[in-house]
């Protein structure tokens, strides 16, 4: 499947697990041997197949953290 190279360096946490066993995770990973970034994405159990997600550098991760900390999640009109 992979015509590109990826390498999960460190799992920072698991967001959720689907009933099919796929997990949504926050990982430090590299793509095609480039410098490591943080990646938020869905994975199958063997971490061979992946779903869509987003890759963030450190500045972006800090900004995401800031955004999430500024919101009252309980008030959010979200399922």
Please give the residue ranges that form the binding site for a second copy (CB under 8 A).
Answer: 9, 12-16, 24, 26, 28, 35-38, 40-42, 52-54, 56-71, 73, 76-79
- DSSP conformation class of 46: T
CB of 45 to a second copy, least distance (A): 18
Alpha-helical runs (H) found in the chain: 58-69
Nearer to a second copy, 12 or 45 (CB): 12
Query: Torsions phi, psi of 75, nearest 5?
Result: -85, -15
Asked whether 24 and 40 are in contact (CB, 8 A), the reply is yes
CB of 30 to a second copy, least distance (A): 10
């Amino acid at each position: 499947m992979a015509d590109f190279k990826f390498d999960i360096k460190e799992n920072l946490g698991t967001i959720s697990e689907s009933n099919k066993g796929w997990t949504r995770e926050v990982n430090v990973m590299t793509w095609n041997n480039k410098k490591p970034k943080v990646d938020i994405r869905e994975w199958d159990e063997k971490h061979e197949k992946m779903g869509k997600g987003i890759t963030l550098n450190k500045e972006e991760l800090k900004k995401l953290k800031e955004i999430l900390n500024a919101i009252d999640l309980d008030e959010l009109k979200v399922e």
